[in-house]
Structure 1
Amino acid sequence: MDPIILSVTFVLGLLANRVGLPALVGFLVAGFILNLLGFSTSENIQLVGDMGVTLLLFTIGLKLKIKQLLRPEIWAAGSIHMLITVLFFGLGIQLLTFAGLHFFAELNVATSLLLGFALSFSSTVFAVKILEESGLANSLNGRTSIGILIIQDILAVLFITFSTGKTPSLWALLIIALLPAARWMFFYILNHIGHGELQVLFGMALALAAGAGVFELVGLKADLGALVMGMLLATHPRATELSESLLSIKDFMLLGFFLSIGLGGFPDFASFVVSALFVLAIPLKSLLFFFLLTRFNLSSRSSFITSVTLTNYSEFGLIVGAIGVSNGWLDNRWLVVMAISLSLSFIVASPLNMVADEIFEKWRNVLNRFETAKSHPDEERIIPTVMWQVIILGMGRVGTQTYDVLRERYGNVVLGVDADQEKVKRHTAEGRNVIYADVSGRDFWRRLVSLNFVKTCVITIPSFDAKLYAITMAKQLGVVCKIVAITEFDDEVEPLLEGGADLAFNIYDEIGIGLANDICSCLDDPKIVVGEQKKQQTD
């Protein structure tokens, strides 16, 4: 890439990041500005962008667990929402066409529905970023959001596949038949390549060569091949690690895609007006998500937070639009409109997600009326009335070890809490007292306030923002027990203490102390000393 293009893109991406927006907003704006300065997209930028989309689909496949998608609040709500949204936007665009507005002139029904399809997606990149920063990717609303996004992504891939108009060759049947054997071979390789550069190279080879390359050769869409390769490895224990190892490369290559959109043309006034009109319609998408999710027995809070997470347009809408332009179905100006709509939706959604819980609390009484009488099986709305003295929030490796040590020392007075239902089930099967709860919600802390016999609450969840938010909420609602928080960074200790934690420390400081104590125990063990003396005599 041209150094000027990279420099301008970096600066605007950084500015977007500093104001709390995804960097891709800056990349789109950079493309528009560079186009205004006389730059145009090149084959290299286009190639890098195509590879970024392929890697994006591969990493989505790595997270695609069929069992999770079979839940009705995911596949049914996601599909119904997309169908209604496509019809709503399609009808609305056709009405504007019949009204004689110049920008919408000559749009037929099929084109209007295609635009509606592009606008029906929510952003996977944005949602994952929000959920990871809040530490709620494995919570019920996090898993529901990601599941709905994957349903949307699958529909997008199917559209991309069939939009080419190619007829697969007979060799495609052989490739499909060999997938089970290929899966076994890929599992074996992933088990034996370590954690470094070979793992990254293996992931790229699967996505770009075994997936995109081979599928393209037999007449199938390359993007579908990348998704399928990811799905083959989705159940492997190191699938998440592989996805994370490709994260930076994928994000860099997607830079080419967003740049190419911006470099395609500078928006005029009419494009901004139409984009603003589309952004005004986003709340309707959110209201529909909320209504559908409550129909599938999710609580009003889970439904609301999930709906806010999905309140945006998607980079997949740009991909669908780009295919429409390349096939001659859409004018290039519509791609510019969708790029602006995407950027504006992020500008609206970013602050909205930051205050989503406060908005829910303000409208709690109204929103609770939409709840069904039946509760969702994954939502615990009560804490078992046992005389718990210690509650551990976050039952990962550190939380589990802390739980086991405290229970061994003090007895069955320790309760574990986690927002990952699968993790809760595993701990319960192993004999631990662990319940599901979303600690980012005020309901949990309200219930905890009434348990005045709890002496200590230990917070081991990984996200700093989630820890700080939980501590602040606990203090606001009047939790009287001592709050202990751990972190991985020294510069996070002081903010946690200022936020209300009674004790906060860097976990790595304690690892060194624990290791030293274990070594001292070993040196004081007479069996070890005698063994060492015998070894010296033998030598």
Structure 2
Amino acid sequence: MLDPSLLLFPLLLALLATGLGFPPLIGYLAAGFALYAAGVDALPFLQPIADLGVLLLLFAIGLKLDLRGLARAEIWGGASIHLALTMVITTSAIKLFSVMGIALFDELSLNQAVLLAFALGFSSTVFAIKMLEERGETQSLYGRTAIGILIMQDLFAVLYLTISKGALPSPWALLLLGLPLLRPLFYRLMDRVGHGEMLVLFGLAMALVPGAALFEAVGLKPDLGALVLGILLAGHVKASELSKSLFLFKELFLVAFFLTIGQQGLPTGAEVLTALALMLLLPIKLGLFLLLLARFRLRLRSALMASLSLGNFSEFGLIVLTAAIAAGSMDPSWLRVMALLVAFSFLLAAPLSTHGQSIYLRLRDQLLQLERHPLHPDDQPIRLGQPRVLIFGMGRIGSGAYDELKQHFGDTLLGIDHKQEIIERHEQAGRRVVMGDATDTDFWDKLEHSDSVELVILAMPAHHGNLFTAEQLARIEFQGRVAAISRWPEEAEALKEMGVHSVYNIYEAAGSGVAEQVVELVKKPA
């Protein structure tokens, strides 16, 4: 029978972590170390669950990924240049630590130092995605940039792991190039499975069979297979629904992933000292990201927020070192050092990422000279013109509100959204929509003044986005009316406290809409 403490430890420590202002994943990491310290041996059933969590994470990333985005200079250039610079700086630092006689560094040869530097060059996909999802900012400019860089890093890691096997992938791997030809078949299957549990089962099957299992069978990383299958399904109308359906499964399975990191074993004093010395490199890693992204003309806030999301060490470093240890290239003690280093970096990165906006406001004046002009096209000033109605968030609710209000306000409506594909779709439908991220304080600084706006509608899917926008409207003393959507009573209360005049519960509004249509139907003669 499963020991109840295996569930109680992570739960209690996650509650403690959130109470202290850290994300719950810090509690899961601590639970892994606590279980090991309590004498609980490594649990073999956790690893398959952890692997499944990572597979579903990459599958979900693929479902949201615009493949064209990886070709952007700030993504492929930022990832590759940063990794190269990090390896040079880290290798030099490791050799310096060795000369100084610090802890375990004098045991490393030059080749081993380069390999360790390579492992330290990655940022945590799991950590960054978790933090971005909790803030609802995976589709913001900085969120898309960070995710793109993470995917490029993952591809570098997959390439190393393939080479480290000492054998090339099977020649049959070339047949995987034909997978896009099966996209129409996958789409038809996705159409037929409907919704609910069948859609979830379809997603799991796609990620694990033609994704992970097929790629592993031809000598490639199963993680890469899950990512590729997600990308192939990303263009389907149900892709977003599938991603949301898999969300809780992915979250639960990732708990096992963080527990397995903590169960690598309790480190010795020398290993702790080694990890602390390597932590000195973390500010350099973060600073390099900031400088590079600014050089690629991202606005300071976008560059800083992306850098804070990437300013950590990665679980892929553990995977790389595991492969190196299996090949006899590294001593097993370095796996414990890396596990401790990942945990330390999460402890530091979590509050930095959570309070990124405050950090930006505090450092903006000192770092503003890093910006290069002209700015990135997605970070350009926003010109509104003279609209009477602004709608923030042009998803299904925002689009419906736009079409309904157009009967009363004509062409004086303007939608604002931060996703380029949504803007293109609305422009094709004849709606006036501009690019903008209302959760970016620079958005409000970039806005050209307009005294024509009478009504603002907050229709973004994430409550924190609507609340933040309401705060900004209050800050600039907007004199018009403000309406917003909510899901829960506590969200409505928070919005009203911020000065929102009307709050509409989307579930209640949907029910009212159905009732109105039924009443109209009853009134009509049979």
The verdict on a shared fold, with TM-score over 0.5 as the criterion, is yes
How far apart are residue 302 of structure 1 and its match?
1.7
Gaps of 5+ in 2: none
SS for the counterpart of 1:461 is: coil
Q: Does the 8 A contact of 1:35 with 1:263 survive in 2? A: yes
Instruction: Name the CA shift for 1:515/1:185 in 2 (closer, same or farther; >3 Å).
Output: closer
Q: Does the 8 A contact of 2:162 with 2:219 survive in 1? A: no
RMSD of aligned residue pairs (Cα, Å): 2.5
Aligned residues: 525
Match of 1:467 in 2: 466
1:81 and 2:92 correspond: no
Match of 2:120 in 1: 119
Match of 1:275 in 2: 275
Q: Does the 8 A contact of 1:61 with 1:228 survive in 2? A: yes
Gaps of 5+ in 1: 533-539
CA distance in structure 2 between the aligned counterparts of 1:444 and 1:168, rounded to whole angstroms: 47
Amino acid at match of 1:265: G
Q: Which moved more, 1:110-119 or 1:80-89?
A: 110-119
How far apart are residue 72 of structure 1 and its match?
0.7
Q: Does the 8 A contact of 2:264 with 2:339 survive in 1? A: no
CA distance in structure 1 between the aligned counterparts of 2:83 and 2:186, rounded to whole angstroms: 34
Amino acid at match of 1:195: H
CA distance in structure 2 between the aligned counterparts of 1:239 and 1:101, rounded to whole angstroms: 50
Matches within 5 A, 1:10-409: 10-173=11-174, 175-176=175-176, 178-386=178-386, 388-409=387-408
Q: Does the 8 A contact of 2:496 with 2:503 survive in 1? A: yes
Q: Does the 8 A contact of 2:308 with 2:349 survive in 1? A: yes
Instruction: Name the CA shift for 1:230/1:514 in 2 (closer, same or farther; >3 Å).
Output: closer
Instruction: Name the CA shift for 1:7/1:448 in 2 (closer, same or farther; >3 Å).
Output: same
SS for the counterpart of 2:88 is: helix
Q: Does the 8 A contact of 1:133 with 1:463 survive in 2? A: no
How far apart are residue 181 of structure 1 and its match?
4.3
CA distance in structure 2 between the aligned counterparts of 1:385 and 1:225, rounded to whole angstroms: 46
How far apart are residue 437 of structure 1 and its match?
1.3
How far apart are residue 135 of structure 1 and its match?
3.0
State percent identity of aligned pairs: 42
CA distance in structure 2 between the aligned counterparts of 1:354 and 1:9, rounded to whole angstroms: 21
SS for the counterpart of 1:457 is: strand
Q: TM (normalized to structure 1)? A: 0.90
Q: Does the 8 A contact of 1:261 with 1:335 survive in 2? A: no
Instruction: Name the CA shift for 1:440/1:60 in 2 (closer, same or farther; >3 Å).
Output: closer
CA distance in structure 2 between the aligned counterparts of 1:209 and 1:327, rounded to whole angstroms: 28
How far apart are residue 71 of structure 1 and its match?
0.8
Instruction: Name the CA shift for 1:196/1:448 in 2 (closer, same or farther; >3 Å).
Output: same
Deviations 1:29-60 (A, max 9, x none): 22222222222213323333333333334334
SS for the counterpart of 2:374 is: coil
CA distance in structure 1 between the aligned counterparts of 2:10 and 2:342, rounded to whole angstroms: 17
Deviations 1:137-168 (A, max 9, x none): 22211211111111112212222222222343
Match of 1:536 in 2: none
CA distance in structure 1 between the aligned counterparts of 2:177 and 2:445, rounded to whole angstroms: 55
Instruction: Name the CA shift for 1:10/1:332 in 2 (closer, same or farther; >3 Å).
Output: farther
Amino acid at match of 1:169: S
Q: TM (normalized to structure 2)? A: 0.92
Match of 1:414 in 2: 413
Q: Does the 8 A contact of 1:267 with 1:337 survive in 2? A: yes
How far apart are residue 487 of structure 1 and its match?
0.6
Q: Does the 8 A contact of 1:40 with 1:264 survive in 2? A: no
Amino acid at match of 1:391: L
Instruction: Name the CA shift for 1:268/1:500 in 2 (closer, same or farther; >3 Å).
Output: farther
1:486 and 2:485 correspond: yes
Q: Does the 8 A contact of 1:445 with 1:479 survive in 2? A: no
Deviations 1:164-194 (A, max 9, x none): 2234334434x42552444333232222112
Q: Does the 8 A contact of 1:212 with 1:225 survive in 2? A: yes
CA distance in structure 2 between the aligned counterparts of 1:442 and 1:257, rounded to whole angstroms: 35
Amino acid at match of 1:523: V
Instruction: Name the CA shift for 1:379/1:7 in 2 (closer, same or farther; >3 Å).
Output: same
How far apart are residue 459 of structure 1 and its match?
0.7
Deviations 1:112-155 (A, max 9, x none): 22222222222222322333333332221121111111111221
CA distance in structure 1 between the aligned counterparts of 2:315 and 2:408, rounded to whole angstroms: 52
Match of 1:507 in 2: 506
CA distance in structure 1 between the aligned counterparts of 2:383 and 2:280, rounded to whole angstroms: 41
How far apart are residue 279 of structure 1 and its match?
3.0
SS for the counterpart of 1:363 is: helix
Deviations 1:202-260 (A, max 9, x none): 33333333333333333444334333333333333333333333333333333333333
Q: Which moved more, 1:46-55 or 1:486-495?
A: 46-55
